[in-house]
Structure formats: structure tokens, C-alpha cells
Structure 1
Amino acid sequence: YNPRPISENGKELSRLIQEEATYICKAMDELETFRKKPTLLREYCSKLHEIENQADDVYEFFITKLFEEEKDCIELIKIKEIMHELEKTTDAAEHVGKILKNLIVKYA
């Protein structure tokens, strides 16, 4: 897309995705032992949900501000699309957490 630099508010979504990835990795490490002690896995799933909610807030604030401040329509579309894809990534990470919670219910 070759957009202009994205503001710090926009970069916050990337940091949240990185945090979600860390929790997913930790959750994967728990899969071998979660049947005996599901507490940690359940905690990681909750964290994924919390981070996704935080990411929704960041995304909504960023998009609102983008539409208020960006005057170049093409640039607005570019940045909006990039941010939308990042937001979808946070949704996907939360979906992983939901699947893991289902595993806890079924096998723990």
C-alpha cells in the first residue's frame, strides 16, 4: 500500500497482537498438562479475550480519529484497510482462546 507512517495509536494494535501471540504460545505449552490442571490455560484464554476487547477500543478510537483528521481520501482508505486487517488478527487470536476453552470443557 505504501501508506504514510501510522500514528502511535495505530501501532498499539500491533503491540496487542504481539501480546496475544505470547499468550497463545504459553497456552500451547499447557496443552499437554491441562487435563490435570486447567487453571493456567483458562487464565490465558481470559487474557486473550481481554486483549481483544482492548484492541477493539484502540481500533475504534483510531478509526474515529483517522476519519476526523485525514483529508487525503486515498491515504485514508490505505490506512483504514491496514488497521482493519490488524483488528481482524486480534479477533482471530480471541477465537483461538475460545477453541481452547472448549477443549477445557470437553476434556478437563
Structure 2
Amino acid sequence: MKVHVNNIKVYAYHGCLDEEGIIGSEYRVDAVVDVKNKLSHQNDDLDQTVDYSLVTQIVVEEMAIRSKLIETVAAKIIKRILNECTHSKHVSITVTKINPPIEGDVETVSVTLSSTDI
């Protein structure tokens, strides 16, 4: 079973450019967490599954810590989810930067990282 937490919207200050640390940007984060207990849907017990409010809290807290690369932020989010969500066994995170400060008409850039990558 997988728990999806999609389109977590945050404003953060990631990027290699100095101005990104001052101005910031809008981000969206998507999390997919594989649940260890395949039968958690039969128990109707939050303690037997992944709490998506905790996943959201971890994302918001980690996005608040400035990094140059969104890959770095994704890895930190994955590590925390695996450590704090005891029923998680595999995590995939997509971090999307809205309107990145690069040449051309680019709406978003994103990176997807999974726990098998780190």
C-alpha cells in the first residue's frame, strides 16, 4: 500500500543564486510513502499506517531550511520520513520549483528522489 501526499505548497529560499536566498520562490512537494503493513486498511488504526499529517509537517520543516539544491532537500525529507514514520519502508519525493530564475519561458523544474537513491 502507498500513501500519497500531493501538492504540498510552501514558500522557500533554495537555490544557488544569492537572490534566491533573499527573494525565495514557490514550491510544490509530492510524497509517496510505501507502508510496511499491507493490511493497515483492515485495522482502521492510524498507529498501523503512515500519518500523512506527519509527512506534511516534515516536508514543511525541511523546506524551511535553505539548501542550494532541491535534490539535497528531497534527500533530507526522505531520511526524516523513514526515521519518524515507523511504518514507512520506501519513500519517493518530488520537489518542484515554480518559475525558476533561469533563461527562457520555464514554468517549473523538479527533481524526484527515492529512498533507493540515497
Question: What TM-score do the two structures reach when normalised by structure 2?
Answer: 0.30
Structure (1 or 2) with the greater strand fraction: 2
Between structure 1 and structure 2, the one with the greater Rg is 1
Higher relative contact order (CA 8 A, sep 6+): 1
Question: What TM-score do the two structures reach when normalised by structure 1?
Answer: 0.32
Structure (1 or 2) with the greater helix fraction: 1
